[in-house]
Amino acid sequence: MTQKPFLQALTEKQARPPIWLMRQAGRYLPEYRAVRADAGGFLDLCYNPKLAEEVTLQPIRRFGFDASILFADILLIPEALGQKLWFETGEGPRLEPINSAAGLQLGGVKSHLAPVIETVSRLSVSLPSETTLIGFAGAPWTVASYMVAGRGTPDQAPARLLADTRPQDFQSIIDLLVEATIDYLAAQVDAGAEVLQLFESWAGSLSGAAFERWCLAPVAAIISGLRARGVTVPIIGFPRAADCDMADYVARTGCQILGLDTGADRKAIAQSLPSDIVLQGNLDPQVLVRGGDELRRDIASIMEDFSARKFIFNLGHGIVPQTPPAHVAELVALVRGEKDL
Ligand code: CP3
């Protein structure tokens, strides 16, 4: 059996990189909006294995991406730990704010997330044989920043304040997240996930010793915990906008693939990282919205900057709802060389 193109690209540089997009299932697709309306809401969709499977498959049917990412959300773990979670229509996620791990518990995590694991099992059967299945979780700092603030915040000030003034209470939240995340990701792999991604969307709000303690150390603990359990799948680290040495991040966390955000210095990273590390990224999601010559130029520039590396084509952050699906189809054709750049 020949290997799937995505997995092949992890061991050997390819003439054309595999491609998938963060948030490839979502509101930019009319078929997603229809299923979400039927489900009753975003969380109902996440916990309904049949419908979550369906929306995961939608972008694969439409565009034939090389990888499929499980449909779920990074904030399901706080809910599984006992924190109240809801989505405000047109705004985003809300949690009842906390400032310590008191009241949270690991005991119910497995049963609460069982429907998500069932979605993974279903996908491992229904995906086309050439498509790689990616499981995921949020990295602890990013998830904790929502748990403490109760919502998304521009600079994660509430979590930073708690981490600075009551580090032990903040550590208790992080420790619980590390444990729950190891269990959850190991279960995803048992159910058929072939690669894992850890989303550290808010890495950019910490630096120095705080970055090391709250971003780097928990991600390293999750990866070493998974390895200690015998989980061998490749892991994608995505420390978005992190103010750190990327070679150091990769070496100390133990991730095999490094997701680069839109602002990353591609040339410097391509030159400084060890050649066994696979790079992923980093087209600007807004350029995909605009399309046209700018899109072609940026694709060409990314392909050129990573031409000497093992590489996976992706965006630098999630696709946005305003994205015309036709631009996504064009992106895939251009990256695959089915259309000339
Ligand atoms: O990539 C995928 O297609 C897989 C599914 C996925 C979702 N969220 C679905 C989703 C993944 C991997 C995530 C990760 C996630 N969730 C992150 C990390 C990545 C990032 O974007 O920074 C974060 C911070 C969250 C938390 C979250 N979920 C926020 C802040 C929001 C509101 C913003 C928004 O885009 O609406 C969500 C909602 C969400 N998660 C949607 C989807 C498809 C939109 C919900 C809807 O249908 O209205």
Q: What is the DSSP string of 112-152?
A: HTHHHHHHHHHHHHHS-TTPEEEEEEE-HHHHHHHHHHSS-
Ligand 1: centre distance to CA 251 (Å): 28
CB-CB contact of 148 with 173 (8 Å): yes
Cβ-Cβ contacts under 8 Å for 219 (sequence gap 6 or more): 139, 140, 198, 200, 237, 239, 253, 255
**Nearest protein Cα to ligand 1, atom 2:** 23
Give the mean pLDDT of the chain: 97
Query: With a 6 A CB cut-off, is 75 part of the ligand 1 pocket?
Result: yes
Query: Which of 19, 73, 314 for a ligand 1 pocket mutation test, highest count of atoms within 8 Å of Cβ?
Result: 73
**Nearest protein Cα to ligand 1, atom 44:** 26
User: According to the model, what pLDDT value does residue 2 have?
Assistant: 78
**What are the pLDDT digits (tens) for 22-36?**
999 999 999 999 999
Beta bridge partners of 259: 280
Beta bridge partners of 312: 280
Question: 330-339 long-range contacts, Cβ below 8 Å, gap at least 24?
Answer: 330/291, 330/295, 331/19, 331/283, 331/288, 331/295, 331/299, 332/19, 332/63, 332/64, 332/65, 334/295, 334/296, 334/299, 335/16, 335/17, 335/19, 335/299, 335/303, 336/16, 336/19, 337/16
The one catalytic residue in 27, 62, 94, 213 is 27
CB-CB contact of 286 with 323 (8 Å): no
User: According to the model, what pLDDT value does residue 201 have?
Assistant: 98
From residue 196, alpha-carbon distances to 124, 182, 208, 238 in Å are: 14, 11, 26, 11
Ligand 1: centre distance to CA 23 (Å): 7
Query: With a 6 A CB cut-off, is 78 part of the ligand 1 pocket?
Result: no
The pLDDT of residue 91 is above 70: yes
CB-CB contact of 314 with 331 (8 Å): no
Ligand 1: centre distance to CA 169 (Å): 27
Nearest to 63 by CA among 279, 336, 312, 304: 336
The one catalytic residue in 23, 122, 160, 240 is 23
Report the side by side order of strands in the sheet with 278-283.
67-69, 132-138, 195-200, 235-239, 257-259, 278-283, 311-315
Locate the ligand 1 atom nearest the alpha carbon of residue 320 and give its number.
35
Nearest to 112 by CA among 146, 150, 82: 82
User: According to the model, what pLDDT value does residue 89 have?
Assistant: 87
**What are the pLDDT digits (tens) for 132-151?**
999 999 999 999 999 999 99
Q: What is the dihedral of CA 320, 326, 328, 329, to 10 degrees?
A: 160
Please state the φ and ψ torsions of residue 260, each to the nearest 5 degrees. -105, 135
User: According to the model, what pLDDT value does residue 107 have?
Assistant: 96
Give the mean pLDDT of 106-126.
98
Query: With a 6 A CB cut-off, is 199 part of the ligand 1 pocket?
Result: yes
Helix (H, G, I), strand (E, B) or coil at 298: helix
pTM over 0.75? The answer is: yes
Locate the ligand 1 atom nearest the alpha carbon of residue 56 and give its number.
3
User: According to the model, what pLDDT value does residue 90 have?
Assistant: 86
Query: With a 6 A CB cut-off, is 144 part of the ligand 1 pocket?
Result: no
Question: 208-212 long-range contacts, Cβ below 8 Å, gap at least 24?
Answer: 210/160, 210/163, 210/164, 211/242, 211/243, 211/244
User: According to the model, what pLDDT value does residue 186 have?
Assistant: 98
Query: With a 6 A CB cut-off, is 26 part of the ligand 1 pocket?
Result: yes
Q: Which residue type, as a one-letter code, is found at position 146?
A: Y
Q: Quick one: pLDDT band at residue 213, thresholds 50, 70, 90?
A: very high
What does the DSSP assignment read for 236-285? EEEETT--S-HHHHHHHH--SEEE--TT--HHHHHHHS-TTSEEEEEE-H
Q: Quick one: pLDDT band at residue 1, thresholds 50, 70, 90?
A: low
